[in-house]
Amino acid sequence: MFALLVRLLHPFTPPIATARNYSVRKFRGDMIAGLTVAVVEVPQAMAYAMIAGVPPQYGLYTSIIQGFFGALFASNEHLSSGATNTQSLLIAATVIHLVPNGEPMMYLQLVIALTMIKGIIQLIFAAARMGNLIRYVSRSVIVGFSAGAGVLIAAGQIPNLLGLARDQLGERVAPGVIGDVLRVIPHFHEASPYALMIGVGTLFLILMIRSISRLAPGPLLGVVCAGACVAIAGWGPDVLPLVGELPKGLPEVFVAPWNISYRQAEAMLGGAFALALLGMIETVAIGKSIGAHTGTAVSPNQEFFAQGLANVLGAFCQNIPGSASFTRSALNHQAGGITRFAGVYSAIAVAVIYLTCGSLAWYIPLAALAGVLFVIAYSLIDWRYMLRVRRVSQGDAAVCMVTFFAAITLPLHYAIYVGVFLNIALYMQQSSRLRMAEMVRSPAGPFVEQPLQEKHGQRTVLFLQMEGDLFFGVADELRDRLTRIRKDSSRVVIFRLKRTHSIDSTVLQVMEEFTKRMNETGRHVILCGVRDELMEVIGHYGLDKLIGEDNVFPTTYGVFASAQKALDRAKVLIGGSIDASDIADHDDLEYWAYEI
């Protein structure tokens, strides 16, 4: 009972462990980093709320609540959580079709409920210890999806850059970039030159500041300058769209986030699952990237718990779904953040800025936030990786590009599923190749490997090396190969399993059939280099008894010691000595394995 309680409470222990060794030096570094991240996060959070289709304050609410709890319980102490670009884009793609009449309050309720559903899914994943499954999603999927998201964000901000209000645009007639472009084209003549000037000016100012210092809060300065221009010029909403006055005070807490129907919740389930999966993939990738510099590890299961808890609690405080941000997490590390409390201080600083300066948001033009998002959208496209992977692996390049095109043409939550499916298909294709080589004696050493030939001559003993995962995907190829081997004149076939990682029942059945046919003709099968876990599986299946326990040799510490024992046993079975010609020919030896 005590052990169970300890296990249940373990995910809540990270802040306690950090607080034990906290010092004034760490507090100073964390405070500076937290304030630095906060001034960047404020305009980002407002911009991301726009992408999600909700008022700007809800992005700030998310940065405050999820930023606080996400930092407390994350496994990597530099992660900064809150509203993010890809999450916000996926939110809009999930909810927009459920509100046909465009009712703002219904849309907002669905978004908040989506936060709850996503958080529950992540907590279930954490309880089921499913974090390690994230490692089967390659970087190619993330790069392709992020690039597609960057294009979608840029396309979606064209109306704000041109000063076009939402009610001016028609209904979306197609998903993805095509739908965004078709909505805007008929309204180009209605564009506001003031909005275009503000948006382009903000964009260039951010780029200029970024070229001077990566730590400088370019987005914040750009938005402040744009707001100052609006205030000095006396422009109002009739000249160009503005953010408008934000409500005073922090969000209400303990507001029930489930005021939706079962049908609506069911319709959002696929999007919530995609949000949970994408959020975790990004969080783990960010943690590993920062951990490479800090030497810290990332626990996917702990991250599932931290993000799940932050989203569930955030749903009661009117949050939109959020996750870790690469930009803010990297800035946290670069600005000198030492512990997880830097993220806590950042969340508190965002709350203070919102409470003290929220009334000034009235002057912020939406075109300025569009300029911020154009910079963010471009940073999501990893051109270097996309060019490099094309030269290295055609399979990874295909996964990356198909995911990219799926993101810009299909409903967005489908794109992440397409990428993950292609990733798994590529892995299955690569792992389903049967790797089998012939072991031959060599004057330079005990054995080398050469391609397994279709005809083996008059060899008495055939010595084979098998490696990789022997699972049902290779069973048919293995059966065909062993059938051809059985038709040869070899009296003993030795299988070396030293490099075999696993073996399943389908492959064991193939081995069983081969052994029976060999035994029926007075010939023999020997296994050597069998590791303990494989020995247990083979024993449970009963293959060791069919082969003969004297013909199964576990792996040993000596180099080829188990192989030599197998050859000695083969000599006994054939009743004589074994020379090199009995095992293999020496002609044209090659040091590479044959792949079927």
* pLDDT classification of 137: cutoffs 50, 70, 90: confident
Contact between 494 and 524 (Cβ < 8 Å): no
Predicted confidence at residue 167, as pLDDT, reads 66
Concatenated DSSP letters of 518-581: HHHTT-EEEEEEE-HHHHHHHHHHTHHHHH-GGGEEE--SSTTHHHHHHHHHHHHHHTS---HH
Domain boundary among 411, 427, 443: 427
240 with 338, same domain: the answer is yes
- Give me the mean pLDDT over the 465-486 stretch: 86
Looking up residue 535, the CATH number of its domain turns out to be: 3.30.750.24
Residues 18-29, mean pLDDT to the nearest whole number: 90
What gap in Å lies between CA 248 and CA 53, rounded to an integer?
A: 20
Closest CA to 309 of 59, 18, 4, 74: 74
Are both 523 and 459 inside the same structural domain?
Answer: yes
Picking from 55, 248, 318, the residue whose alpha carbon sits closest to that of residue 166 is 55
- Summarised one tens digit per residue, pLDDT across range 569-588 is 998 888 755 554 455 443 33
> Can you give the pLDDT at residue 446?
64
Give yes or no for a contact between 32 and 320, defined as CB atoms under 8 angstroms apart.
Answer: no
22 contacts 341 by C-beta, under 8 angstroms: yes
- What is the reported pTM? 0.73
Both 297 and 325 in a single domain?
A: yes
Q: Which residues of 241-263 are buried (b: 16+ CB within 10 A; e: fewer)?
A: bbbeebeeebbeeeeebeebeee
158 within 8 A of 184, measured Cβ to Cβ: yes
Quick one: pLDDT band at residue 308, thresholds 50, 70, 90? very high
Alpha-carbon separation of residue 195 from 232, 325, 359, 367, 377 (angstroms)? 15, 28, 21, 6, 19
Residue 379 lies in a domain: yes
Residues 473 and 390 both lie in one domain:
no
Reduced to 3 states (helix: H, G, I; strand: E, B; else coil), residue 470 is strand
Last residue of a domain, one of 395, 427, 459: 427
In a domain, 357, yes or no: yes
As a three-state string, the secondary structure of 563-589 is: HHHHHHHHHHHHCCCCCHHHHCCCCCC
Mean pLDDT of the chain: 83
pLDDT tens for 46-84 read: 889 988 989 989 999 999 999 999 999 998 888 899 999
What average pLDDT does the segment 509-519 reach?
A: 93
Same domain, 187 and 274: yes
Q: SS3 sequence, 344-358?
A: HHHHHHHHHHHHHHH
Confidence label for 593 from pLDDT (cuts 50, 70 and 90): very low
Residue 453, class by beta-carbon neighbours within 10 Å (0-12 exposed, 13-18 middle, 19+ buried)?
A: exposed
Residue 174 falls inside a structural domain: yes
181 and 293 housed in the same domain: yes
Give residue 523's domain range: 435-583
Query: Looking at per-residue confidence, does 521 or 576 come out higher?
Result: 521
In a domain, 6, yes or no: no
Number of structural domains found in the chain: 2
The verdict on 420 and 440 lying in the same domain is: no
Residue 72 in domain: yes
Whether 5 maps to a domain, the answer reads no
Q: Is pLDDT larger for residue 434 or for residue 551?
A: 551
Q: Tens digit of pLDDT for each residue in 339-394? A: 999 999 999 999 998 888 877 778 889 899 888 888 888 888 888 888 888 888 88
Torsion of CA 367, 369, 375, 378, to 10 degrees: -80
443/370 same-domain check:
no
Please tell me the least confidently modeled range out of 11-15, 162-166, 564-568: 162-166
Per-residue pLDDT tens digits for 484-509: 888 887 889 999 988 888 888 999 99
Q: Taking Cα atoms as reference points, which of 172, 219, 100, 232 lies closest to residue 412?
A: 172
| Claim to verify: residue 485 and residue 377 sit in the same structural domain | no
Which residue, of 427, 449, 481, is where some domain finishes?
427
Q: Is the pLDDT of residue 117 over 50?
A: yes
- Residues 346, 460, single domain; the answer is no
Residue 1, in any domain of the structure: no
Cα–Cα dist 348/64, whole Å: 7
Asked if 497 and 457 touch (Cβ cutoff 8 Å), the reply is no
**Are 404 and 466 within one domain?**
no
Q: Which residue has the tokens 């999603």?
A: 137
CB distance 191 to 164 below 8 Å = yes
The conformational region for residue 560 under phi > 0 = left, psi -120 to 50 = alpha, else beta, is left
Predicted pLDDT at 140:
86
Per-residue pLDDT at 580: 47
What integer is the mean pLDDT of 121-148? 84
The answer to the question of residue 596 being in a domain is no
Question: Is there a single domain that holds both residue 441 and residue 365?
Answer: no
Least confident of 158-162, 314-318, 334-338: 334-338
Percent of the chain with pLDDT over 90: 26
